[in-house]
Amino acid sequence: MKTEIFQVDAFTRKVYSGNPAAVCILEKPLSSRNYLAIAREMNLSETAFVITSKEAMDSGIFELRWFTPRVEVPLCGHATLATAWVLFSEYNYHGKIHFKTLSGIHEAELVSDGVRLNFPQDKPIPVPIPEGLGEALGYSGNMRTFYGRKTAKLLVEFEQVSIIRKLKPDFKRLLSLKSDYEIRGLITTARGNGEYDIVSRYFAPWVGIDEDPVTGSAHTVLAPFWMERLGKKKIKAYQASERGGELFLEIAENNRVHIIGKAVTVMKGILFNDFA
């Protein structure tokens, strides 16, 4: 069987930056085992699998799943943006897209600033600093910790952007953190001091990703956290990984958040497989 597959850089205006995702176009679902095998072959932080049957193209409702090379994840922002971008730019889909996923229905539409995603927001609550966090991050100064219960992401607020940029986490120590709650990702963030309102980095060794270049799902936590503190309804955000990426955030109705970003297609190819 031959399957079209794309590689897309998400949350960026130029190639070789932002966060790369593979987008696999399927007419019918495969098994989870086969999805995982393809994700391992692509060896990117996430590979998206979208069902583009005639029924889906007619209704605008597409089944979508995301896999890292290690596990399936319930929500992935950059791979969702990449998938929407492929449907808009390569398949000439017009109108609002409804992605049916493990974490619910998520909308995507093409707007003047790029692709706008509609995700559930995850307002974090204050939590005690987990034992060993300072040592794992290599930082002994002031920090405050919060927790997104829907996404299982720990948010660490620092006083300056420069601190975030200099962090060099010990990922084995991160995996050994002791807390009373599950941790699937670690957001580090500070108020911006220039072009961007906020800056962040994101680490997720718990799902096989030491540092993610640009993370849409992390901004479902960051958006409500910072909008309350900054008194803003719109935020320009930057994720300060080596590749870097920018996002525009807006609070939407029904406790949801709009995440807006651009994307560029880097590669298009044919995946050969013998999956039944």
Q: What is the pLDDT of residue 260?
A: 98
How much is the average pLDDT of 253-268? 96
CA–CA separation, 121 and 114 (whole Å): 20
Q: What is the pLDDT of residue 80?
A: 97
Domains of the chain: 2-119+261-272 (3.10.310.10), 125-254 (3.10.310.10)
How much is the average pLDDT of 232-260? 96
Residue 276 has pLDDT above 70, yes or no: no
How much is the average pLDDT of 6-16? 96
Indicate the average pLDDT of the chain: 95
Instruction: Kindly report, residue by residue over 111-157, the tens digit of the pLDDT.
Output: 999 999 999 999 999 999 999 999 999 999 999 999 999 999 999 99
Q: What is the pLDDT of residue 273?
A: 75
Q: Is 250 a catalytic residue?
A: no
Under the banding of pLDDT at 50, 70 and 90, the label for residue 274 is confident
Residue 47 has pLDDT above 90, yes or no: yes
User: Residue 6 forms beta bridges with which residues?
Assistant: 23, 268
Residue 181 has pLDDT above 80, yes or no: yes
Under the banding of pLDDT at 50, 70 and 90, the label for residue 194 is confident
| Total residue count of the chain as it appears in this document | 276
Cα dihedral 130→131→137→143 (10° resolution): 50
> 4, 27, 41, 46: which one is catalytic?
46
Phi first, then psi, for residue 229 (nearest 5°) are: -75, -35
